[in-house]
A = this chain, B = another copy of it.
Amino acid sequence: MKTGEPIRIGIVGAGQIAKVQHIPAIAASAGFRLTAIANPVPVDVPDGVTLFPSIDAMIEAGIVDAVSICTPPQIRYGLARTAIAAGLHVLLEKPPAQTVSEVEDLATRAAASGRTLFAAWHSMFSAAVEPARRILAERGVSAMHIVWKEDFEKFHPGVYWFWQPGGMGTFDSGVNALSILVGSMPEPVFVRGATFHVRDGAHTPISATLQLATPSHADGFSAVLDWNHAGEETWSITWTLGDGGTLELEQGGRILRLDGRMLLDAGDNEYPALYRHFETLIDEGRSDAETRPLQLAADAFSLARIERV
């Protein structure tokens, strides 16, 4: 990669998240230039971008230094493995793979190849996370409740892979909250109990409740993740501070209130921040393969009480 030249990047999987977030974020980035998109069926691509039917054809053309893998999570591991083997840097949409151990294997491969692997937990880059982290570190935290409710059909009409094995179900959205927790909490969080609501024919939950804990607090931490929610979506986390105050994160991390007072009302800047971080990682020859949000999800799956709905 030549210094000063933008990094040539390709997108693998031209679905909703690529269209709405990755393509605009790359277009607004000085560090990256979108040169290619790989998708198994033809899609419209921006001017100057070449469409390929597969990652192999994209790699063969020799016009990318990096790829963003935006497919369903079940096939991310294999595609990332192919990309790393071809000497590319890799950004993985969240969740980064099906399992923690797949991510760890990719990190091993990236390190061996001297390439950057970035598990892009975009919600960790929401505007509220860093201010929340500072307040929680200073004032302590005694309780926490996540409410992550949305209407699946509104955001993902007709999409079926969420319900297939490895598709995560409501955790595909809910890991966003878990990633905010990992990014903001002064202590580790872990899962003590879970109830999953699973529809007939589905392998993953449509909704879930979690009992969480930290090393300092055996209970008082919980989450409701619900993809079967009629009406307006709610993506909020409320902390009770150590001194009895209240910290509220809303709209997935755009709004932060402390003791009822507005601290922050930011726009959606997650994906541009993701690409700045990816550029820094590549420049510094590092990886960022965070697994903790996925670990919490895996732990919940492994001890869940299953209710058929």
Contact = CB atoms under 8 A, between A and B. Distances in A.
A98 B305 CA distance: 13
Nearest 7 pairs of A and B residues by beta carbon: A101-B190, A99-B299, A166-B303, A301-B302, A298-B302, A165-B305, A298-B298
Interface stretch (A26-34, A103-111, A151-159, A253-261): A103-111
16 contacts: A98-B302, A99-B191, A100-B299, A101-B190, A102-B191, A105-B188, A108-B188, A108-B215, A164-B305, A165-B193, A165-B304, A166-B193, A203-B305, A298-B298, A298-B302, A301-B301
Given A203-B305, A304-B165, A188 B298 contact: no
A83 B164 CA distance: 41
B101 A295 contact: yes
A194 B81 CA distance: 20
Interface residues of A, number: 40
A192 interface: yes
Given A99-B302, A301-B302, A305-B203, A190 B105 contact: yes
A25 interface: no
Given A188-B108, A193-B165, A298-B301, A306 B203 contact: yes
Interface string A155-186: 00000000011101000000000000000000
Interface string A66-99: 0000000010011001000000000000000011
A11 interface: no
B109 A215 contact: yes
Contacts of A188: 101, 104-105, 108
Interface string A193-210: 110001000010000000
B203 A295 contact: no
A144 interface: no
Interface in A208-267: 213, 215, 218
A198 to B, nearest CB: 8
Nearest to A194: B165
A119 interface: no
B165 A98 contact: no
A220 to B, nearest CB: 15
Contacts of A108: 188, 215
